[in-house]
Structure 1
Amino acid sequence: SVMYGDVPMYVLGALVLGFSLQRTGTKHERVLLHTADVPKDSLQLLAAYWRLQKVEYIHSAQDLHTAPYDKARFKEVFTKLQIFDPELLPFDRVVFLDLDMLVLKNIDELFELRPPAAMCNMKSRSSRVVQMPEHGERMEPEATYINAGTMVVAPSMWLHDLLA
């Protein structure tokens, strides 16, 4: 997962997610990417459930937002693209989960999915509702939106540099 800023609710979410992954018995390492502005006392708490890895922000372009950029809700969300950096995450596969998740049963099976994999969002650029794929089935090319809160990726410096 990735955490940035000094929002107490993000710390709580990271603690809950880390605890739930540990409690459900994952055999995989839990890594929390964080920016330098996450308070040190928060990082001390988070270290109980996560290996902590500091990352730089990736800011979105100003023209992606309808609100003024300084008030834009998701201007730092592209920081999660750091999951593609194999120097930060030297793994064949990474299962990314947003901090607002609670894992109720072991999800190690997600590591068996062929990357890239994500949750399908039922929108398409043509506003046509697309067919919901079955588990493990490839999305239609028209299904251009994903829910980036759960993703399976293969880190690649080429892809990281292309996206970031």
Structure 2
Amino acid sequence: MRRLPPLFATVLLGGCQAIGAPGAPLLAIPAAVEGLSLRAFGRTTGDSIVSLVTGEDCSIARIGRGEAYCGRDDAPAPPPMCTRSLGAVDCWTIPPAAWPAYRGVADGPATLNPAQENNRIGWIGRIARALPSPGPPEPATPPTPAAAPPPVIQPGSGVPEPVTGGIAAGAAAQMLQPPTSP
């Protein structure tokens, strides 16, 4: 902590040294702000704007570590389950199957509280979580078949025709008769 004021003073004095050059203070002040931001927060002011827009942790320092520019903070791994043993403490990542269940040595929380989860998912995740989720899609209704046209029935004379000549002969004889007017 005692190093911070001298470092801060050297950054500010760098801006005073460039007073004689035209336009130099205009370049030194933003450079000092970017340097302080990178040192204090681990990201530049531009990185902060990109992080705000994307909702991910974006930093130029991540590129220096060989990582991607933007990355999401994953949920922490669950803490190991530690139980008492004869004169020692045994810890497992998967609790042993026992009935009744072993009582852990630590009574702390095993999951993130809501504030920690909100910090982990960022503001875009909080907005997405607050939006109403779309309901399940409605099942498709089968199309209704079109109604068949009613059969056309022509009124006849009411007298059955003789079947002696066959159906074809009866149809030919009917066609040769002149139409009757009503």
TM-score by length of 1: 0.21
Whichever of the two has the greater Rg, that structure is: 2
TM-score by length of 2: 0.20
Bigger RCO of structures 1 and 2 (CA < 8 A, at least 6 apart): 1
Larger strand proportion of the pair: 1
